[in-house]
A and B are shown apart, each in its own frame.
Chain A
């Protein structure tokens, strides 16, 4: 769907066409829920956040001028809500502790229980590291590596040049990777044993 079609879709939503709004939800509902989940790591919170984002989208449809892709506009609208929720979670004592339930919806099913356990531990490690890096780096990492947005869309959503997006993304990856390595080194025995059981290289 190009910019003109997206603009037309928004216009139809503004005119009160239920079918158009259903189409918009079908196109972006899953994506926005995914972004919300990556910021909250809890199903209930993610649904609440995504609901809030779509309410905001509906109430601000008249502001969309078709200047850039609809997904970028939606992310720019939802950015403050996501950051607010992320900061709220950060203030909780258990912020850096990522539970099994939190990562369960993100895991692919594995036939081997040991491999499944290893994947779960790696994922928990990833989100623990993510929680320790600055917000401006974490949000770009989530949008790019977890939600698969293009550099251009991220730049439009966050009002940043492509070069800044790439630079921040590189630093975010480097920070997360370093923290993962440091944690693995500090609890090396546990990971080595899991890896040995799973037969995978860690």
Chain B
């Protein structure tokens, strides 16, 4: 067992001579010193093991196999956007297989995309709907067409435009070779005209006939009325004066002078 002086001298960086002087006077440190010298001789005979060239070359190729943590962050962002090359993807995957922090960060980012949307409380939607400002409907051609006034205005506008451009639908029909349609239309119009004349003629005849009948009736009624009036006049002159009622008025007959007046008027 050493006295500890050799260790103190070594730690203090004392000269070798000082240690040898102590070993000469201290038997325990002398034995330790001999052991140390023996071990040192073994160390001195060893050489450094040499790495092969292939191994050194594999070390030089490391940048093509992996990335550092900072580059991994950038590549992870590109990966989320799908903008990472196959080679960079392999380097990133290799780095994550070795770096727990980067693997964890990638896992958190991936999980964030799959999170469910938070559901609002039932009253929130009602309140939101109630607080939504009324939206003025946007002017749209379809809304204008749906409105009758708008449709009429549009039709007028279209007609004006057509007129201004000198567009004639008949020309279009002619150009399209619809002459037969034109003839048919003409014939239909003629037929309709003839039919209308016939109907007017028939109506006229019927009206004349009815007028004649009506005229006859009126004449007959007139004659009957005159003859009736004459009969009344004659009957009045031949009969006695009518009796009076309880209230002093006559019962159903005219006074003589009134009757005469009526006759003359007639």
Contacts and interface: CB of A to CB of B under 8 A. Distances in A.
B56 A29 contact: yes
Interface in A122-163: 122-123, 125-126, 145-147, 163
B198 interface: no
Contacts of A190: none
Q: What band does the interface of chain B fall in when counting residues whose beta carbon is under 8 Å from A?
A: 35 or more
B62 interface: yes
Given A47-B55, A59-B98, A180-B38, A174 B32 contact: yes
Given A25-B59, A50-B59, A58-B62, A170 B10 contact: yes
A147 B51 CA distance: 14
B98 A30 contact: no
Contacts, number: 122
Contacts of B2: 174
B69 to A, nearest CB: 6
A48 B26 CA distance: 47
B23 interface: no
B249 interface: no
Contacts of B67: 59
Interface in B31-65: 32, 35-36, 38-40, 42-43, 45-51, 55-56, 58-60, 62-63, 65
Contact of B49 (A16, A26, A34, A167): A34
Contacts of A105: 49-50
B45 to A, nearest CB: 6
Nearest to B62: A58
A14 B67 CA distance: 10
Given A34-B49, A59-B66, A106-B47, A180 B59 contact: no
Given A22-B60, A58-B66, A108-B47, 15 more contacts: A29-B51, A30-B48, A30-B51, A34-B49, A47-B55, A50-B51, A55-B98, A62-B70, A107-B45, A119-B45, A166-B13, A170-B6, A174-B7, A174-B36, A177-B35
Interface of B: 2, 6-7, 10-11, 13, 32, 35-36, 38-40, 42-43, 45-51, 55-56, 58-60, 62-63, 65-70, 95, 98-99
10 contacts: A29-B56, A50-B51, A123-B45, A123-B46, A126-B39, A174-B7, A177-B35, A178-B32, A180-B35, A180-B42
